[in-house]
């Protein structure tokens, strides 16, 4: 069975996003970029399925500019078999990404489509759901466990009050949560070999997809700063402070 993994080349998750006070928008233009950590978890799960003999081929696909090849090479170093870049410099919204992925899925015909539950740059968390709807296939979101069977996949997913296990007929879309696995450490020789591997490139403009934006971000702002901690001398000061804050009557 073939598995397709969607890979997002996005802002480094260790960086704090910067909000431009003049425009009210999050500025990612100068931020260091790398593979979306939730997509890295998806790659790891696909590789583990292949190591168990349940998957024959893993295809990684990224949508973005030329720099997105860095994340595809990272995917190669982790163990994917082929990599494909849908090239565009436009800043795409989730529906446009889902439409492009639909074209690639119809071309590749995978039995299972993996992607992260969200991208850490924009945090929309919508693309997997939209892709499943466009394809008309089953969807398992926030996956923390995967069991692949004959023509179906069981997904253990995170919900508000614990976990839930569902069974999906293949093909299906699964979005990965943090607890699904811990991605492997990539050895330097694998990274070096990944630089020599082929990355097929398609122009997004040639795929016949409407990439128009469907909504406008009016404003973004950082959360209000919380007051710093204070040190109190005794219990009476604590009680008085709590009363002033109207925690105690």
Torsion over CA: 190, 82, 8, 48 (sign): negative
pLDDT computed for residue 29 by the predictor: 67
Which has the higher per-residue pLDDT, 86 or 242? 86
For residues 88-117, give the mean pLDDT. 96
pLDDT computed for residue 200 by the predictor: 97
Residue 124 contacts residue 113 (beta carbons within 8 Å): no
Residues 167, 197: Cα–Cα separation, whole Å: 36
pTM: 0.86
For residues 15-22, give the mean pLDDT. 75
Domains in the chain and their CATH numbers? Answer: 2-244 (3.40.50.620)
pLDDT computed for residue 245 by the predictor: 78
Residue with tokens 């700063």: 225
Angle of CA points 62, 68, 73, to nearest 5°: 85
pLDDT computed for residue 123 by the predictor: 84
For residues 123-128, give the mean pLDDT. 93
Q: What percent of the chain has a predicted confidence (pLDDT) above 90?
A: 71
pLDDT computed for residue 27 by the predictor: 72
Return the closest-CA partner of residue 190 out of 66, 73, 35.
Answer: 73
| 180-213 residue pLDDT tens | 999 999 999 999 999 999 999 999 999 999 999 9
Q: Is the peptide bond before 171 cis (omega within 30 degrees of 0)?
A: yes
pLDDT computed for residue 30 by the predictor: 65
Which has the higher per-residue pLDDT, 55 or 228? 55
How high does pLDDT run on average in the chain?
92
Residues 111, 6: Cα–Cα separation, whole Å: 14
pLDDT computed for residue 59 by the predictor: 98
Residue 5 CB contacts under 8 Å (≥ 6 apart), including other chains: 39, 42, 43, 46, 58, 59, 60, 61, 75, 80, 113, 114, 115
Residue 33 has pLDDT above 80, yes or no: yes
């Amino acid at each position: 069975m073939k598995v397709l993994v969607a890979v997002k080349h996005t802002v480094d998750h260790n960086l704090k996003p910067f909000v431009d006070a003049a425009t009210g928008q999050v500025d990612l233009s100068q931020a260091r970029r790398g593979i979306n950590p939730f997509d890295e978890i998806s790659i790891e799960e696909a590789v583990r399925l292949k190591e168990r003999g349940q998957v024959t081929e893993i295809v990684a696909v990224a949508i973005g500019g030329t720099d997105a090849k860095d994340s595809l090479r990272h995917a190669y170093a982790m163990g994917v078999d082929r990599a494909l870049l849908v090239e565009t410099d436009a800043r795409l919204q989730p529906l446009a990404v889902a439409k492009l992925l639909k074209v690639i899925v119809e071309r590749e015909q995978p039995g299972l489509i993996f992607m992260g539950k969200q991208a850490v740059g924009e945090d929309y968390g919508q693309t997997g759901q939209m892709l499943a709807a466009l394809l008309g296939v089953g969807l398992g979101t926030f996956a923390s466990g995967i069991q692949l069977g004959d023509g179906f996949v069981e997904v253990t997913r995170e919900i508000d009050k614990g976990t839930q296990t569902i069974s999906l007929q293949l093909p299906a879309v699964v979005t990965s949560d943090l607890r699904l696995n811990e991605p492997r450490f990539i050895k330097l020789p694998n990274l070096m070999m990944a630089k020599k591997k082929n990355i097929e490139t398609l122009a997004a403009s040639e795929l016949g997809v409407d990439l128009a934006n469907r909504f406008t971000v009016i404003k973004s702002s950082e959360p209000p700063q919380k007051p710093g901690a204070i040190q109190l001398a005794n219990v009476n000061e604590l009680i008085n402070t709590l009363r002033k804050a109207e925690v105690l009557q």
